[in-house]
Chain A
C-alpha cells in the first residue's frame, strides 16, 4: 500500500520525505553559523576593517612621496616637535613658505598655502591618525626611545596622500608594549624609512632590540602594560 493511499483515506498528516532534512539541515546550519558569525563579527568589526585605510582628501595636495621620499626631507623638518612634545605638530604655513616663497611660486596647487600665509588663517589639514580620547599618547617618549616613524605610520615616504595603515588599536599597542625589542631601533635611525636591523646594524632585530631596551632603560612589561601607562 502506498503512502498516498494512507493520506487520502485517513485524514492523517504524513511528513513528506524531505522533512528528514530538517534536523540534519538545522544542525548543519548551526555548525556553519558557529564559524560564520565569529568570522563576520571578528573580521568585520576589527580595526583593520574599520580604521585602516582612512585616507582623507587634504585641502592642499601635499605629497609626502615627493617631499619626504624623493627629496629626502627629514620628518622633523616639518614635524619638529615630535621629539620634544606629546604631539607631532603640523607645521605652520611659514614652514611651507621656507621653500615655496622661491619654488613653484605660481603653482595653483599651492594657492591655499599662499593665501594662508598672506592672511594668517591656518590651513585646515585633516587629521589621519586619531586615537580614542581616553588614550594618553606621547610622541616624544616613543621617538626618543627608538621607535621609528615607519613602525606606526608605514611608508609615508611612498604615500602621495597619507593613509592610516596600522590599526592603532589597543591590542596593536600592547603587541609592542609587551615586547618592544621587536621594534626598537637606534635613536638616530628613527626617521629612516628604510632602516633594516641586519643590513644597517648587522644584528637580527631581537638581539639588537634587547640591547637597545637595556641601553634606553625601557621599563619591563609590568610597567609597560599597566593600565595607567596609557590611560591616565
Chain B
C-alpha cells in the first residue's frame, strides 16, 4: 500500500494534516510524553497570567540587583541598628533647624510680649495685620484657599461654617469626645461682630491658634509652613467677608458675573 507518505514531497492538504494530527503510527508512550509536554508548557503561561491579575504580599522580584538594592537608607527608612527603628535620627535636644529658626515676633509667632509698666507683668499682644513678609495679594489668597481646603476644611468645612467631612463623620458615629469645630463665620450675638473676625480675634491670634491649636483643635504648625499659615489667615478673612456679603458688596460692574 503506497500512500502520500511515500511521496517524495507530500503536499499537506487539510485532509492529510487532519490525519497526521493524530500521529498515526507513533508508539503510544511517545504520544503520552508529547501530551504531557504540551500540558507542562501551559503551566508557565498560567502562572504568568496569575501573577498579573493577583495581589501579593511579597515584595517585587528584582532581577538585576546591581545597584538597584543599595546598602543605604532612604528617607524614613527603618533600621535595625537603632532601638527606635528609625534610620533618620532625631536632632539633639535644643537643636534649631535652619527653617525652624524663628526670630521674628510678627511673622513667626503673631504676637509679642509687652511688659505692663504698672504691674511689671508680661502680656501677650497679638498683631492685628499680616506680617510684611506676606503681602495681601491674589496669590496669597489663592495659596490660602489651597492650604485651607487641605488642612482646615476637613473639620471647618470649605465655607468655614464648621461642618466639614470629619465633623459629619464624628457626629454620625456619635463620638462622645467630639466637640464640633468652630463656625469661623459666626456672629457674636452680644457685639454683633464676627466672633472670629479681625476685631475680636486679631490676625496674630488666628495665626497662633493655627500654629499651636486651641482646646480640641490640634496644632497645625508642624504640618503647615509659616507663610502658608498666614495665607490661611488671609483666606479665612476672605471667607468671613464672603459668607456675610450682600449684593451691595459686589462692585456694580461685576454683578452681571454672579451666578
Give A contacts to B, CB under 8 Å.
Answer: 16-18, 20-21, 36, 39-40, 43-45, 47-57, 71-74, 76-77, 80, 84, 86-87, 89-90, 92, 94-95, 97-99, 101-105, 120-122, 124, 130, 132-134, 163-164, 188
Smallest CB–CB gap between A216 and chain B, Å? 16
- B165 within 8 Å of A (CB atoms): yes
Bound complex: CA of A210 vs CA of B72, how far in Å? 39
Nearest CB in chain A: distance from B91 CB, A: 14
- State which of B74-82, B100-108, B128-136, B245-253 sits at the interface with chain A: B74-82
B179 engages A102 (CB within 8 Å): yes
**Distance to closest chain A CB from B246 (angstroms):** 29
B58 to chain A: closest residue by CB: A54
Query: B223, A95: Cβ atoms under 8 Å?
Result: yes
Q: Beyond A18-B25, A120-B84, A122-B84, is A53–B75 a contact (Cβ under 8 Å)?
A: no
Contact residues in A for B109 (Cβ distance below 8 Å):
none
Residues of chain B from 159 to 185 with CB closer than 8 A to chain A in the complex = 165-166, 169-170, 173, 175, 177-179
Mask: chain B, 12-49; 1 = CB below 8 Å from A; 0 = not: 00000000000101110010000000000100110110
Interface of A, secondary structure class, is loop
The 9 closest A-B CB pairs, nearest first, are A133-B70, A51-B60, A132-B68, A87-B75, A55-B55, A74-B150, A98-B218, A18-B25, A49-B51
B258 within 8 A of A: no
Whether B216 lies near A87 (C-beta < 8 A) is no
Say yes or no: A103 contacts B146, CB within 8 Å. Answer: no
17 A-B pairs, CB-CB below 8 angstroms? A17-B25, A40-B44, A43-B52, A44-B47, A45-B63, A53-B53, A53-B56, A55-B55, A56-B57, A71-B154, A76-B150, A77-B150, A94-B218, A103-B178, A133-B68, A134-B68, A164-B60
**Contact A47–B68 (Cβ < 8 Å):** no
Instruction: Summarize B's interface: helix, strand, loop or mixed.
Output: loop
Chain A residues within 8 Å of B173, by CB: 103-104
Assembled-state Cα–Cα distance A144/B56 (Å): 32
* Cβ contact within 8 Å between B178 and A102: yes
Q: Are B169 and A103 in contact (CB under 8 A)?
A: yes
A4 smallest CB distance to B (angstroms): 14
The complex places the Cα of A87 from the Cα of B87 at a distance, in Å, of 15
Q: Name which residue of chain A comes closest to B24, CB basis.
A: A18
- Contacts A73-B165, A84-B225 given; 9 further ones with Cβ under 8 A? A18-B23, A40-B45, A49-B48, A54-B57, A54-B58, A56-B57, A71-B165, A92-B222, A132-B62
> Nearest-CB distance from A149 to chain B (Å)?
13
Contacts of A103 in B (CB 8 A): 166, 169-170, 173, 175, 177-178
- Which residues of chain A are near B218, meaning CB under 8 Å? 94, 97-98, 101
By a CB distance below 8 angstroms, the chain B residues around A57 are: 57
Given known pairs A18-B27, A73-B165, A133-B67, the reply for A56 and B72 (CB within 8 Å) is no
Whether B93 sits at the interface, judged by CB under 8 Å, is no
Rounded to whole angstroms, the CA-CA distance of A23 and B70 in the bound complex is: 50
Pick the residue among B61, B72, B170, B175 that contacts A50 (CB under 8 A): B61
